[in-house]
Structure 1
Amino acid sequence: MTKKTILVAGTYDTKDDELTYLSDVIRAQGGNVLSMDVSVLGDPSKPTDVSKHDVAEAGGSSIQQAIESGDENTAMQIMARGSAAKALALYRAGQIDGVIVLGGTMGTDLALDLCAALPVGVPKYVVSTVSFSPLIPPERLPSDVQMILWAGGLFGLNSICKASLSQAAGAVLGAARAVEAPKRDRPLIGMTSFGKTVLRYMVTLKPALEARGFEVAVFHATGMGGRAFESLAGEGAFAAVFDFAPQEVSNHIFGGLSAGADRMTNAGKSGTPQLIAPGCYDLVDFVGWQDPPQQLVGRETHAHNRLLTSAMLDAVERRTVARAICDKLSGATAPVALLLPQGGCNEWDRPGGELHDAGGLIAFCDEIKSACPENVMLHAMPDHINDAAFCDRALAIFDEWIASGVVTGK
């Protein structure tokens, strides 16, 4: 087996012992280490493979400028930009197979930028005193990052923190050895959805698209899934997207589980053809074990499980969501087809269902028709999103795109 090389990054002026321990564990397990110093004021006990000067220059600045800023936040943002650029360059040059970053709040802030710069499939581990903390907003988390709490290790080594550090070192090396990186040997379709209890189109569409020679990745649109979807869409990784569960747009507007302000924009910016449908547009998901956001108090809700609860939007709010979706699609640089299932957009909103609101659905559909931008082809249909006719229409549009060269499969 070819030896795997792990990038070990951190502030070697203050965390030298801990970073050296991580490196020693990786080497003892048969891996190689490439070290990166992201310090500003001090120096490591011995030179690192990537110096703090290299990092600052990659961030478009210098250590001296970072020091002269007189502000630790400004200084560390310089180092964050530089470490991200250097890590990506090292990966593209084939010099590293994974990365592990250690830090407190300052180091974690940097670590998130560094890890976000690396593609999906590259093992990324963050050892942090604030792992899993509400200090870290979901939109800052790279889609496949792993974190472990750096317990009892803020200052110096001890048996408690060594347990965390050694686990993380073994985990990143093991991941680098075991990872099956995306092959990209077939054109990839990105699809958003929820579980089959509420949205069912993926059950039909996934095998149908695979039969046409495509690979299909379905993203669970509950915040982090949307972040992963948008990250890949921004890279131009998809031949086309079937973004049929854009509920995260509603979540972002009304205080639910947001995937970030850029949700539903990156495929358009990257020139990726988009099939869009408003699955679950009428619901806002929030953390089920917490009180609902103030603006959702008193709403009709559906407790999906102990973790997640959905609240219904009223007719006025649904019009707001419709305008937001149309505005996001207006900037697309490739063809967009918007499927509008006027029979309903999730299983719970059918006539007789617990979240049925005929007036709200009509208001949403009317606003979509009114606000739909010129660059978007609107396909209004009488069916429900979970009806077979919806999948038939989506596949017919997609087949037309293949035939006309809109989707090339490259």
Structure 2
Amino acid sequence: MAIVVLLGTLDTKGEEYGWLRERLLLQGVEVIVVDAGVIGEPRIGADVPRADVARAAQADLARLRAEGDRGAAVTTMARGAAETVLRLHREGRLHGVLAIGGSGGTSIATRAMRALPLGVPKVMVSSMASGDVSAYVGSSDITMMYSVVDIAGINSVSAPILANAADAAAGMAKGFAAASRALRPAELAAGERPLVAASMAGVTTPGVDAARERLTELGYEVLVFHASGAGGRTLESMAEQGLFAGVLDLTLSELADDLCGGILSAGPDRLSAAGRRGIPQVVSLGALDMVKFGPIDTLPARHLRERDVRVHNPSITVIRTTVRECAELGTLVAAKLRDASGPTAVCVPLHGLSTLGAPDGPYHDPAADEALFEAVREGLRGSPVDVLEFGTHINDPAFGRAASDLLHRMITEAGAAPAVSA
């Protein structure tokens, strides 16, 4: 029978967890309740009591309660919850996790969920889920569901939402128990086809699609990461784990967002992990001709006055990067790549970096593009990093194929290429 672990603070959410347990049992799954509360008394019984969770974090529950430091208690119980669910997973007693909570409960539960392998079902119902959930989700596959109302009792609004969450968790757990689809890093890295990471945005899709098709022909499995902030962070995280035979990083727009205050930054460590781990990488400059913001009514007033603003879609507005910003970005890219410990090359498409930056596009700005290119050339002069220039647009299929062939040669020389290649 599939087993769903209910993880939460039973002192503040006991009524709701008791209701969820009954709903899950009706769906024909077994339930293990884990109590990660500290201060108040639990309102329902737990299969794994809070003292055991604290002990899993090498902490004493009585001391945590006596100290009365909520922040320290939440941090400790989150660590213990992670150790607890990992143990249950190793023992074959976890086929899915369901949790509910506000900010504290969400922090505890998602810390535990992030510790589990990819593919293990993880459902989080949270009053925080309508805002920025990147701190909770990280690079994991957590399903976030907005609770709409605060989680404070069972009522006409919360009941159907919690029922949907329980039914979803039960269905996922049943499927997972039948198929055992957890994605383990060692198994991913040792798969039949070597893994290659590729970065893509909507404005670089044609070129990356051509590259992906070529790499697939050459015998690789290609994982494409959307340059959405979370996508870049996940690419970096998986590269840091050594899962990739190579990285085809054709889209760097997250660096522009980080530099210029856009909303899709992947943080300062973007474009670092492959070089640090010595993974062969081919890098281009895709979408560095723009910075992404939210809906147009959220754009800073100075940009509306001074910049070339384009509505990408109702949720995303973009501005064109300037000559100065492009020069800074080129210097940044070069500085990150100079330190790479593995084979690295930069492919420069001289005729445009995005669909908007094509020769007939609204963001066609040869002066800004040249400032970017020259900063990359200057920053990598005298380094072992090759800078290869192509008289094409980034979305020209020939460019994508050429970048893929170059990465294949690098991987082959490193001894990690597929046994059969086209």
Could you say what the CA RMSD is over the residues aligned between the two structures, in angstroms? 2.6
Match of 2:54 among 49, 56, 79: 56
Q: Does 1:339 align with 2:339?
A: no
Name the CA distance, whole Å, in 2 between partners of 1:262 and 1:295: 28
Name the CA distance, whole Å, in 2 between partners of 1:367 and 1:347: 22
Partner of 1:277 in structure 2?
Answer: 284
Q: How far off its partner does 1:45 sit?
A: 4.5
Deviations 1:164-204 (A, max 9, x none): 11110111121233357358443222211123x54422232
SS at 1:116's partner residue?
helix
Partner of 2:155 in structure 1?
Answer: 158
Residues 9-24 of structure 1: matches in 2 within 5 Å? 9-24=7-22
Q: How far off its partner does 1:221 sit?
A: 1.2
Name the CA distance, whole Å, in 2 between partners of 1:35 and 1:205: 47
SS at 1:49's partner residue?
coil
**How does the TM-score come out when normalised to structure 2?**
0.87
**Do 1:226 and 1:259's aligned partners in 2 also have CA atoms closer than 8 Å?**
yes
Partner of 1:209 in structure 2?
Answer: 215
Partner of 1:360 in structure 2?
Answer: 368
Q: How far off its partner does 1:345 sit?
A: 1.3
Partner of 2:230 in structure 1?
Answer: 224
Classify 1:86/1:262 alpha carbon distance in 2 versus 1 (closer, same or farther; 3 Å): farther
Q: How far off its partner does 1:47 sit?
A: 4.7
Name the CA distance, whole Å, in 2 between partners of 1:328 and 1:119: 30
Match of 1:188 among 188, 195, 202: 195
Q: How far off its partner does 1:347 sit?
A: 2.5
SS at 1:384's partner residue?
coil
Deviations 1:3-59 (A, max 9, x none): 221121110122112112212211221112222111111343455233323333333
**Do 1:198 and 1:346's aligned partners in 2 also have CA atoms closer than 8 Å?**
yes
**Do 2:408 and 2:417's aligned partners in 1 also have CA atoms closer than 8 Å?**
no
Partner of 2:413 in structure 1?
Answer: 404
Name the CA distance, whole Å, in 1 between partners of 2:267 and 2:57: 25
Residues 229-240 of structure 1: matches in 2 within 5 Å? 229-240=235-246
**Do 2:38 and 2:61's aligned partners in 1 also have CA atoms closer than 8 Å?**
yes
Classify 1:34/1:265 alpha carbon distance in 2 versus 1 (closer, same or farther; 3 Å): farther
Name the CA distance, whole Å, in 1 between partners of 2:173 and 2:166: 11
SS at 2:326's partner residue?
helix
**Do 1:254 and 1:295's aligned partners in 2 also have CA atoms closer than 8 Å?**
no
Partner of 1:84 in structure 2?
Answer: 82
Q: How far off its partner does 1:60 sit?
A: 4.4
**Do 2:8 and 2:100's aligned partners in 1 also have CA atoms closer than 8 Å?**
yes
Name the CA distance, whole Å, in 1 between partners of 2:159 and 2:396: 55
Residues 32-111 of structure 1: matches in 2 within 5 Å? 32-45=30-43, 47-111=45-109
Name the CA distance, whole Å, in 1 between partners of 2:28 and 2:260: 50
For structure 1, the 5+ residue unaligned runs are none
**Do 1:341 and 1:384's aligned partners in 2 also have CA atoms closer than 8 Å?**
yes
**Do 1:236 and 1:271's aligned partners in 2 also have CA atoms closer than 8 Å?**
no
Classify 1:69/1:270 alpha carbon distance in 2 versus 1 (closer, same or farther; 3 Å): farther
% identical aligned pairs: 32
Name the CA distance, whole Å, in 1 between partners of 2:347 and 2:358: 18
- What is the number of equivalent residue pairs in this alignment? 405
Q: Does 1:309 align with 2:317?
A: yes
Name the CA distance, whole Å, in 1 between partners of 2:86 and 2:414: 33
- Amino acid across the alignment from 1:387: D
Deviations 1:355-387 (A, max 9, x none): 111111111111111223836333333432223
